[in-house]
Amino acid sequence: ACGTAFAAEHGVPILYPQRPHDADAEARAALDRLCGGDAARRASVARVMRRLRRNEPPPGWLRRALWWLERRVS
């Protein structure tokens, strides 16, 4: 009931504090420097940046296997 809107990832609200928009601009600039126009590399590096910001552990064997299947199916 506080009226705050939270970002979502895969339909799940992200409830940890978000950084201000200038941090997003810095992240985009870093992605430009690191990845240029390579969309696949940008997506991978952005995913790692989000994981490091959340201090999320690396994916386990099951998640990696599901990602592999998802790439094969699509």
What pLDDT does 18 receive?
A: 59
Token pair recorded at residue 32? 């430009």
DSSP one-letter code for 55: T
What pLDDT does 54 receive?
A: 74
C-alpha angle 34-56-64 in degrees, rounded to nearest 5: 80
Average pLDDT rounded to a whole number, residues 53-63: 82
What angle, rounded to 10 degrees, do the helices at 21-35 and 39-54 form?
A: 140
Per-residue confidence band for 1, with pLDDT thresholds at 50, 70 and 90: low
What pLDDT does 20 receive?
A: 54
